[in-house]
Structure 1
Amino acid sequence: MKNLALKMLTLLLALPLVANVADAAEKKVKAGFIYVGPVGDAGWTWSHDQARQEMEKLPFVEPSTFIESVPEGAESARVINGLVRKGHNLIFTTSFGYMDATLDVARRNKDVVFMHCSGFKTAENVGNYFGRMYEPRYLSGIVAGKMTKKNVIGYVAAFPIPEVIRGINAFALGVRSVNPEATVKVVWTQTWFDPGIERDAADSLLDVGADVLAMHQDAPATLQAAEARGAYVIGYNSDMRTFAPKAFLTAPVWNWAPLYKKIAEQVKDGTWKSEAIWWGMDTGMVGLAPMSDQVPAEVQKLVAEKTEAIKAGKFHPFAGPIKDQEGKEKIAAGATASDPELLGMNWFVEGVQGTIPK
């Protein structure tokens, strides 16, 4: 009898543990996404939404919610709050201007995990994430530097924040690594997604002699302008070659799916912790779209070699010596820009023509 009683007691003590394991296995992730543009932009928002759909295929992820074209700033807090009220336990806010609103909502909802894209602030239940897009930006600059005939390259840029400035600089460094005579002219649009304004900016650069265009914009308008005027173009966000089949050379592109899946798994397992994520080409989050057949084989070979060097940690686009527009040394020979320096970058490298609005 004593042995039987001992066995029954052992079984009873084990039941809560079994139940807890079952509860953990059944935990679901309900994710919500805030987008700055429309899903159909074919660029930034489209790339995030492709990853959302991939994440949703995980068996423990419930059908997710996305809200598109949400204005940045304080107004976005209302939309983020709405996702909280509807029971989402994981919320991705996918543009720089959502940063403070995300933190504000997160302070009042400690049981929800928030992930903010491209910002620099974190909290107990807020992490941030981005990719080292400056790596493929540099590579695309090599292509542009080799393909220009006039040594005038135009760059349609969104907002004068470090993310955009860093990309322009990396691109220009790539250009001048193979063509020191080339310059990169910058025009600001002060918008992420406005095809009309982007097209006007692209045309203005073509008007002053640019024969290759690049961009930090969400719409394919820059590509369409280049196609219409017989110029070459470097895309961004996704492989947009269908919008400019004759003009397209390549594009720095995003693949958010590996990260979104990882975050969802951490939330499910209860292992998520606030951190600042900045993944590079070695993770597959950022990369370069396949190059057009118009890019000569020797250029493609050069880019492939530099790609492997970046992935292996043998080359860094911001390794010195690097000078600014005024010729002042900003990164000394033998030195490499630190992450804080890159994340706060507010100056243009030598070879960039344009100013940074205050």
Structure 2
Amino acid sequence: MNRRTLLTTAALALTLGQAAFAQDPVTAGFIYVGPVGDGGWTYEHNQGRLAVEEHFGDKVKTIFQESVPEGADAERAITQMALSGADIIFTTSFGYMDPTMAVAEKFPNVKFEHATGYKTADNVGVYSARFYEGRAIQGHIAGKMTKTNKIGYIASFPIPEVIRGINSAYIHAKKVNPDVEFSIIWAYTWFDPAKEADAARALIENGADVILQHTDSTAPQAAAQEAGDVITFGQASDMIEYAPTPRVSSIIDNWAPYYIDRIQAVMDGTWESDNTWDGIGAGMVGIGEITDAVPEDVKAEALALKESIASGEYHPFTGPLNKADGSVWLAEGETASDGDLAGLNFYVEGIDAEIPQ
């Protein structure tokens, strides 16, 4: 075999090897805090995973583990996923932050993406949605529609994401109804249908005829339906099966475009650690259909509010706004910075409650 033949053979082998390598699918892993059938938060993350499969076909392989508790169990699950050959792992709950960082340090060649957290590394990016924008619209509708002037809020954990939502809903309910009062129950869970249903019933028994939630199951919707003459809003997912009442609208988390974009970056070799926080304008936060249970004028106002937020014309945290202790937070016309919102740890003036420590 002469030198030219040897070179040709070597070049062919290299080309074939490169082609084979290029055809190896990217493995994307997902760690979920609830079951994929929760009807809310985890359901929508899993819809994003399924959209990835549909978009990329055999160029990607997805794996997932559902109902992973936050803490030591999460670190074990993430480690196992990294050991199984995942190229990128999405950890989809706030309490996975430290476990994600710990595993990422051990697997520097694996890319990690943590939802709703704030810690990053060379191989760890973070992403979240501006849920508070959707809460503003819910608050507007709630303030207009309550007959008792009592709105109940089922909160999960006292972290800035949840506190932002409570404040945003309250601000916009109060704007249209100065007599409105908020009652907040902390469930200390993201997904526990029994706890969520009990919280909803307690709020309703206390006079609330509107229930908002930052928990993931449809149990509050069912409790409201059972009580009658109570309205609710879908959380994270549309929860359309409870429309036209009690569910009169919803916040829908749309993760699919983000997941597709980040996995494409892994394929292209362009992935870098990033911090993404998008809202209605970018399509990461959707507003579910506002049903005919909502008066036409209120619906029109809510949709106008949605458009003004989406365009950037209006910011849900625009002064004058005071803190609950009466001190000034935002002056007239001033808007909250992302830094302030990211670490928000107080209620606005008018919410008569304490944030658990």
TM-score category, normalised to shorter length:
over 0.9
Q: Which residue of 1 aligns with 2:34?
A: 37
Q: Which residue of 2 aligns with 1:100?
A: 98
* Structure 2 Cα separation of the partners of residues 15 and 315 of structure 1: 59
* Structure 2 Cα separation of the partners of residues 18 and 64 of structure 1: 27
Q: Which amino acid aligns with 2:32?
A: Y
C-alpha distance after superposition, 1:22-68 (max 9, x if no partner): 46743521011110011111001101001100001213543311111
Q: Helix, strand or coil for the counterpart of 1:69?
A: coil
The answer to whether the 8 Å contact 2:225/2:245 transfers is: yes
Q: Which residue of 1 aligns with 2:133?
A: 135
Aligned CA RMSD, in angstroms, stands at 2.2
Q: Which amino acid aligns with 2:30?
A: F
Q: Which amino acid aligns with 1:299?
A: V
TM-fit CA distance, 1:350: 2.3
TM-fit CA distance, 1:21: 7.1
Q: Which residue of 2 aligns with 1:297?
A: 296
- Seen in structure 2, the aligned counterparts of structure 1 residues 209 and 298 have a Cα distance that, compared at 3 Å, is same
C-alpha distance after superposition, 1:140-192 (max 9, x if no partner): 11111111011110001110011100111111112112112212111101011
Partner of residue 44 from structure 2, selected from 33, 47, 66: 47
TM-fit CA distance, 1:328: 2.2
The answer to whether the 8 Å contact 2:320/2:334 transfers is: yes
Q: Which residue of 1 aligns with 2:321?
A: 322
Q: Helix, strand or coil for the counterpart of 1:140?
A: helix
Q: Which residue of 2 aligns with 1:233?
A: 232
Worse-matched range after superposition: 269-278 or 52-61: 52-61
* Structure 1 Cα separation of the partners of residues 137 and 13 of structure 2: 56
Q: Which residue of 2 aligns with 1:345?
A: 344
The answer to whether the 8 Å contact 1:32/1:64 transfers is: yes
Q: Helix, strand or coil for the counterpart of 2:57?
A: coil
Q: Which residue of 2 aligns with 1:111?
A: 109
Structure 1 unaligned regions, length at least 5: none
Q: Which residue of 2 aligns with 1:213?
A: 211
Q: Which amino acid aligns with 2:147?
A: K
TM-score under structure 1 length normalisation: 0.93
Q: Which amino acid aligns with 2:130?
A: R
Q: Which amino acid aligns with 2:291?
A: S
* Structure 1 Cα separation of the partners of residues 320 and 169 of structure 2: 16
TM-fit CA distance, 1:321: 0.9
TM-score under structure 2 length normalisation: 0.93
Q: Which amino acid aligns with 1:125?
A: N
Query: Which residues in structure 2 correspond to 1:1-358 (within 5 Å)?
Result: 22=19, 25-57=22-54, 58-59=56-57, 61-230=59-228, 231-243=230-242, 245-358=244-357
Worse-matched range after superposition: 43-52 or 74-83: 74-83
Q: How many residues align?
A: 353
Q: Which amino acid aligns with 1:131?
A: A
